[in-house]
Structure 1
Amino acid sequence: MTDTRVETTSRLAQWRIDNLGLSTYRKSDPFKIGKWNWRLVLEKNRNLSIRLYPEISSLNKDSHPIASFIIRVVCSLGGRKALVHPEVRDKQLKSGEDFVWPLEVPLGGRFIIDVEFLDLKTTYQNGGESYSVWTEHFTQKDLCATALSSIGKMLSDSIHTDIIINASNGSIGAHRAIMAARSPVFKTMFSHDLKEKEMSVINISDMSIESCQVFLNYIYGNIIDQDFFTHRLDLLRAADKYDVTDLKEACHESLLDDIDANNVLERLQYSSLYHLPKLKICCMQYLVRFGKIFDIVEDFNVFIQSADRELIGEVFSEVLSVWKGF
């Protein structure tokens, strides 16, 4: 690994410097977070400073990022010590107007520059309010709006419903044909002499009526982005249970986007339970390769008391692998 390479996961970037030496200027290779390629720069005049900026090209010249992030310097000299810049919120960054952090403490030996992006926003080319780029991939703009609206209306207005779905705290009417078309599990229920076919009732007691409504909205092609993000863990469970593969993959991709110290252990367990390989890799990277396991020691101790033994073994195997190479 060279001193210019930056390692990344979905929202986290780390630049490892083995030795700054007598260098007065060092620039990282470009690294991609969100829609942009970014660079980190170390400059030494009187003091050492760190710069962060996006590379603006002809393809994104009209969409400068509005970034929220935390930047840290973790130094291995004399034990693991961290310098943390106060959280930066909604700062618009341009190539000529980048972020600069002057360090008042000299750095020696190995150290890591760690940038964790909390959000990245941009604005539409014709102006208007900013929006998070991490919600863009979940959109219905390529679907036939008129047809979807009509199918959604069948659900919202209970038009000729022929089956009742009982959630944990309420019921909603739906249509066998649409549910069977979207889920092989529902298709089997309605094609064989099972109680669901005979009684025209499906019991989904492990979902609230709110989550069940959002699940049905997805099946009917009428889901709202914010509802998806609010209920995506319940949606993941339902997608796995009823074999709605496109919903499961949408949840999988979404859960990759906002891994942080508060949710990484939960996400890691979900990755194992629902066989989400990319999510498992990203959680492992966040915890081990990027060293975040040191920031959540108490939570990790609770995790190893209750988590699947095989999963815990994978975590420790990854720890040993990384430490051998350090």
Structure 2
Amino acid sequence: MGDKVETVARLAQWKIDNVGLSSYKKSEPFKVGIWNWYFSIVRNMFLYIHLFPEPSQVSKDYPPFARFIIRVSNAGSSSSFQISPVQEKLLRTRDDFFWPVDTSFVGRFIIDVEFLDLKICPRNGGETTCVWPSDGNVLSIASPRSSLRGLSRMLDDAIHADLTLVTADGTLGAHKAVLSASSPVFQSMFHHNLKEKESSTIHIEDMSLESCTAFISFLYGTIKQEDFRQHRLVLLGAAHKYDIGGLKDICEESLLEDLNTGNVLEMLNEAWFYQLHKLKKGCLVFLFEFGKIHDIKDEMNNFVQHADRELMLEMFQEVLSASNLV
């Protein structure tokens, strides 16, 4: 282990070798949000842990307002650790945050930070804005914007709609050409002599009208970011059912970006069910290589009782892999 900081989702972890009773160390920079960050430690009577953004034009013009938790533990020990209270700080310099830890940790130990929220605070005042999520992923497929207004009107006003979608609590007009171009499943429905072709009706009764509207809006390239986030798991299911790889990839990236201690087991279950390999790997690394499993022991015990046996085997293999790293 050295001074390199590993990151996954909103968690960063610094594994440190050979810290004596009096020393100073500073990590290599690591990227979370739009900033590069550093850990540093100073040790005398206490272990003082600092977290701060790299001095730069970005951190000067847009200093981060962070909500986070720091955890420090002995490397290789699941029971010897301390967790800070939840911190809410505007971080500009190294002096804006430090956490004094009364500990006898020596030799190898681990410091990690989990960002619960991270906002941009404009230097000249104004409202803070969250760095998560970025609008880029969802809207990148929908350009130029001027062409979208026409598609949005086609959908909203059902202009020349030739298809009716029947949801659990309402109906929605759409266009066969748009759905066929987006999904091989929809294309097959209209190409072959299936009932959907004859009736110009598709029953999607496993979705509400609201979530189906978000789904169809994605296919038209007009979905709003807040609608995407609200219906993200339903959209993932629809992407899987109708074989829409682009939507599935975007959902996976978004879920991985939002991974945290509170949702990691739910995300692992979704990743297993939909075979999202990147998200699954991120969850396993988060739990075992980064040691967050020790923070959710009760939830983990319940999860293990209901988890798929093959998933349990992968988790066991990840435990063995992680044990070789410490």
TM-score normalized by the length of structure 1 = 0.92
Contact 1:67-1:117 within 8 A present in 2 as well: yes
- Give the corresponding residue for 2:53: 54
* Residue 179 to residue 229, structure 1, CA distance change in 2 (3 Å): same
Q: Which moved more, 1:300-309 or 1:34-43?
A: 300-309
* Residue 180 to residue 128, structure 1, CA distance change in 2 (3 Å): farther
Q: How does 1:181-196 map to 2 (within 5 A)?
A: 181-196=181-196
Amino acid at match of 2:114: E
Seq. identity, %: 48
Amino acid at match of 2:97: F
* Residue 96 to residue 85, structure 1, CA distance change in 2 (3 Å): closer
Amino acid at match of 2:110: I
- Give the corresponding residue for 1:249: 249
What is the rounded CA distance, in whole Å, between the counterparts of 1:124 and 1:239 in structure 2? 37
Q: Which moved more, 1:308-317 or 1:10-19?
A: 10-19
Deviations 1:91-147 (A, max 9, x none): 221135531112234433433212001121115688642222121234537722221
What is the rounded CA distance, in whole Å, between the counterparts of 2:321 and 2:105 in structure 1? 27
Q: How does 1:217-228 map to 2 (within 5 A)?
A: 217-228=217-228
Amino acid at match of 1:103: V
- Give the corresponding residue for 2:115: 117
* Residue 210 to residue 5, structure 1, CA distance change in 2 (3 Å): same
- Give the corresponding residue for 1:308: 308
Classify the secondary structure of the residue corresponding to 2:49. Answer: strand
- Give the corresponding residue for 2:8: 9
Contact 2:25-2:41 within 8 A present in 1 as well: yes
- Give the corresponding residue for 1:180: 180
Deviations 1:24-51 (A, max 9, x none): 2111111111222111111124432110
TM-score normalized by the length of structure 2 = 0.92
Amino acid at match of 2:24: Y
What is the rounded CA distance, in whole Å, between the counterparts of 2:128 and 2:156 in structure 1? 30
Contact 1:163-1:176 within 8 A present in 2 as well: yes
What is the rounded CA distance, in whole Å, between the counterparts of 1:101 and 1:92 in structure 2? 15
Instruction: Give the gaps of 5 or more residues in structure 2.
Output: none
* Residue 78 to residue 9, structure 1, CA distance change in 2 (3 Å): closer
Contact 1:267-1:283 within 8 A present in 2 as well: yes
- Give the corresponding residue for 2:133: 135
Contact 1:56-1:64 within 8 A present in 2 as well: no
* Residue 248 to residue 76, structure 1, CA distance change in 2 (3 Å): closer
What is the rounded CA distance, in whole Å, between the counterparts of 1:182 and 1:196 in structure 2? 16
Contact 1:77-1:109 within 8 A present in 2 as well: no
What is the rounded CA distance, in whole Å, between the counterparts of 1:112 and 1:93 in structure 2? 22
What is the rounded CA distance, in whole Å, between the counterparts of 1:219 and 1:192 in structure 2? 22
Q: Which moved more, 1:191-200 or 1:131-140?
A: 131-140
Amino acid at match of 1:36: W
Classify the secondary structure of the residue corresponding to 1:196. Answer: helix
- Give the corresponding residue for 1:69: 68
Contact 2:60-2:92 within 8 A present in 1 as well: no
Q: Which moved more, 1:216-225 or 1:15-24?
A: 15-24
Q: How does 1:156-305 map to 2 (within 5 A)?
A: 156-305=156-305
Greater relative contact order (CA < 8 Å, ≥ 6 in sequence): 2
Contact 1:17-1:111 within 8 A present in 2 as well: yes
Contact 2:166-2:202 within 8 A present in 1 as well: yes
Q: Which moved more, 1:55-64 or 1:184-193?
A: 55-64
What is the rounded CA distance, in whole Å, between the counterparts of 1:26 and 1:325 in structure 2? 21
* Residue 93 to residue 259, structure 1, CA distance change in 2 (3 Å): same
Contact 1:138-1:225 within 8 A present in 2 as well: no
Deviations 1:187-237 (A, max 9, x none): 111111111111111111221211111101111111111111111010011
Structure 1 position 22, deviation (Å): 4.1
Deviations 1:131-175 (A, max 9, x none): 221212345377222211221111112222111111122211111
Structure 1 position 250, deviation (Å): 0.9
Amino acid at match of 1:133: V
Classify the secondary structure of the residue corresponding to 2:117. Answer: strand
Q: Which moved more, 1:36-45 or 1:57-66?
A: 57-66
